[in-house]
Amino acid sequence: MMRLAIAMLAVALLGVRAESDQGQAPVSPVKAWVAANQPALVRELIELLQIPNVAADRSNIRRNAEHLRGMLSRRGFTAELLETAGNPLVYGEMKVPGATRTLLLYAHYDGQPVDAKAWQQPDPFTPVLRPPGGPGRGQTGAEPLTAADGSLESYDPDWRLYARSAADDKAPIVAICAAVDALRATGRSPSANLRVILDGEEEASSPSLVPAIGRYRDKLAADLMVIFDGPMHSSGRPTLVYGARGIVTFNLIVYGPRAGVHSGNYGNWVPNPAQRLATLLASMKDDDGRVQVRGFYDGIPPIAGEERAMLDAVPDDSATVLKTFGIAAPERAFERLQDAVQYPTLNVRGLVSAHVGAGARTIIPDRATAAIDVRLVKETRSADLIARIRAHIRAQGYELVDSDPDDEARQRHPRLARMQVSETPTEAFRTAPSDPQARLVAAALERAFGAPPVRLRTLGGTVPIAPFIAALGFPAVLVPTVNFDNNQHEENENLRLGHFFQAVEIVAAVIGG
C-alpha cells in the first residue's frame, strides 16, 4: 500500500521535474537512453545495495564479489575474482577493437560499518526511497523499497535512495556497467580498452591492494587510472580531480613530573607540561596559520600557468562554507580554500592533559599530549616533514625520547618530549593537468556536457589507494559523481537520483570520449 503511495507521488511529481535536470542543450543519445532506462538502473542498484558489504563480513563480501562478477560478465567483460590476502578484488577486462589506449577504472564495493539503530529506516541494507528533505518527514517514503519497486516509469531526480554504500561507492559501479550498455545501445562502443578493478577493502584502508600488485601487475597495466569515488563539486557540475593529499599522524607528548604534584606546594617552581606543550605548539605556527617549522614548505613551486588558471576557475563557495561552519573569517596564510589545500598542513586534532570540568584537580600534570595530523602534498614526503618537525622540537630545547623517559633521562634533560609517529603514512599523488591522458578525460567531459568540468588540482583529503597508484606507475585522476551532501560513512547515507543518472552520462563520456 505504502509502496503504491510512493509510486503515485512520484508520478505526480513527474510533470514538475521534467525541465529541472535537462537544461537547454539538445538531449544526447546517452542522456535519452538513461532517461528511458531509469527503472532498470534503479533496480540494479537496489539489488546490489541489498547485499551487506562491511569489509569484515567475509561471507557477504564474497556474495557482493560474485554478484559484481556477474554484472560485469553480462556486459561482455571477461570477469574474475582476484584473490588477495584479504577480500577478493573483482576484475573485468574488455578489449575494444582498434582502441589504442587502456583505462583502469577503480571503484570499491565495501562500505563503512553501520550502527543500524542510528538510521531512520529499519535496515541500512534495505534501501528506502524518499522525497527531498530526507528522513523525519513523516511516513511517506519511509517504506522499504525492494527490487520489485524499480518499476516506476521514471524517478524524480531530487528523490534520494537511502542505504549504506548508495553513494560510497556502489552507485559508480552500477554507472560503469550502465555506461557500457548506454554506449552499445546508442551504436557506439568504448573508445579505450577497459579494465575494471573493484576493491573490497577500501573503507578498511585497502591493506591487500598494494601487495596484490606484484601478482596481478599484467592485468592492472593501463595508460590511466580513473577513480570513481567521492562527492562531486557542490555546484553539481561534472568534476575532475587530479590528485589527493597524503597524511601522516603523530602524538606529541611533553613530560612533567613523574606523577602529578600539588599546584600550591610546587606551583611557580615545578615546570608545567601543559603550559610547555602550548608554547611548543605556538612556536610551530604563526597567528596567521603559516607553519613556522623550518623547511616545511620547501620544494613547492609557485602555482602558475594552467594550474593557476584552474584554481582561479573553481566556483568560490567560501561564504557558504564559512556560514555553515559558524566561522567569521578564515586563517590569513592562504586566503582561499582552493589555495590552502595545495600546501601541507600541521593540524592539532586533539589535546589532553590531566582533567577538566568536574574531575579537575589542583595539580601540575605529569604530561600533556597533542594528537597532530600532517597533510602532505606531492612535493612533501612524510619522512622529510617528520624529520623537520623533530628538528624544530629539538631547537626549542627538547630532548626527544623514543619511549616514556627513564630515571636517567629525567635527571639529565630539563625538557623531555616524545613523538609517536604512526607507521602507515599515506603519501600524496597528483597528475599534471597537462598530462595527455588527463587531457583526454577533461576534453571528453567538456564535449559531453557542453562546458568544461570543475577541475580540482587536488582533493584536500586522502585516498588510501595512493600507494597503489604510486606502485602502478601510470597517472590517475578521480571523477566523483555523487551528491556532496550524501552523508557517506554516517547513518542515513543517501544518493540523489539525479546524480546517479548523470553518473551514467559522466562514465559514458569518460570511456566513450
Site of interaction with Zn ion (CB under 5 A) = 168-169, 229
Residue pair 494/167 in contact (Cβ under 8 Å)? The answer is yes
Question: In this complex, which beta carbon is closest to Zn ion, that of residue 44 or of residue 169?
Answer: 169
Give me the least distance between CB of 165 and Zn ion, in Å please.
9
Instruction: Please provide the DSSP assignment of 61-110 as one string.
Output: HHHHHHHHHHHHHHTT-EEEEE--SSSPEEEEEE--TT---EEEEEEE--
Residues facing 417 on adjacent strands: 254, 400
Give the Cα separation of 431 and 120 in Å (integer): 40
Give the Cα separation of 107 and 90 in Å (integer): 10
Give me the least distance between CB of 459 and Zn ion, in Å please.
12
Question: In this complex, which beta carbon is closest to Zn ion, that of residue 124 or of residue 405?
Answer: 124
Question: In this complex, which beta carbon is closest to Zn ion, that of residue 143 or of residue 169?
Answer: 169
120 C-beta neighbours (distance < 10 Å), count: 14
Give me the least distance between CB of 61 and Zn ion, in Å please.
15
Question: In this complex, which beta carbon is closest to Zn ion, that of residue 143 or of residue 168?
Answer: 168
Give the Cα separation of 47 and 173 in Å (integer): 12
From the number of C-beta atoms within 10 Å of its C-beta (0-12, 13-18, 19+), residue 46 rates as buried
Question: In this complex, which beta carbon is closest to Zn ion, that of residue 168 or of residue 307?
Answer: 168
Give me the least distance between CB of 463 and Zn ion, in Å please.
8
37 C-beta neighbours (distance < 10 Å), count: 19
Give the Cα separation of 382 and 206 in Å (integer): 19
Q: Hey, what's the cell of 306? A: 594552467
**Any residues with CB less than 8 A from the CB of 70 and at least 6 apart, and which?**
79
Question: In this complex, which beta carbon is closest to Zn ion, that of residue 168 or of residue 181?
Answer: 168
Give me the least distance between CB of 170 and Zn ion, in Å please.
10
Shortest CA distance to 170 belongs to which of 142, 140, 195, 200? 200
Question: In this complex, which beta carbon is closest to Zn ion, that of residue 344 or of residue 467?
Answer: 467
Give the Cα separation of 12 and 17 in Å (integer): 10
**Any residues with CB less than 8 A from the CB of 440 and at least 6 apart, and which?**
101, 224, 513
Give me the least distance between CB of 464 and Zn ion, in Å please.
9
Give me the least distance between CB of 314 and Zn ion, in Å please.
22
Give me the least distance between CB of 489 and Zn ion, in Å please.
9
Give the Cα separation of 182 and 505 in Å (integer): 9
Residue pair 255/405 in contact (Cβ under 8 Å)? The answer is yes
Give me the least distance between CB of 126 and Zn ion, in Å please.
21
What is each CA distance from 49 to 161, 202, 456, 493, 495, in whole angstroms?
Answer: 10, 17, 30, 12, 12
- Output the furthest CA–CA distance in the chain (Å, rounded): 86
62 C-beta neighbours (distance < 10 Å), count: 15
Give me the least distance between CB of 428 and Zn ion, in Å please.
18
Question: In this complex, which beta carbon is closest to Zn ion, that of residue 64 or of residue 193?
Answer: 64
Residue pair 466/427 in contact (Cβ under 8 Å)? The answer is yes
Question: In this complex, which beta carbon is closest to Zn ion, that of residue 393 or of residue 477?
Answer: 477
Question: In this complex, which beta carbon is closest to Zn ion, that of residue 55 or of residue 310?
Answer: 55
Give me the least distance between CB of 104 and Zn ion, in Å please.
17
C-alpha Rg value of the chain to the nearest Å: 26
Instruction: Please provide the DSSP assignment of 386-410 as one string.
Output: HHHHHHHHHHTTPEEESSS--HHHH
Question: In this complex, which beta carbon is closest to Zn ion, that of residue 206 or of residue 272?
Answer: 206
Give me the least distance between CB of 202 and Zn ion, in Å please.
6
Question: In this complex, which beta carbon is closest to Zn ion, that of residue 44 or of residue 229?
Answer: 229
Tell me how many degrees the CA angle 342-344-347 measures, rounded to the nearest 5. Answer: 125
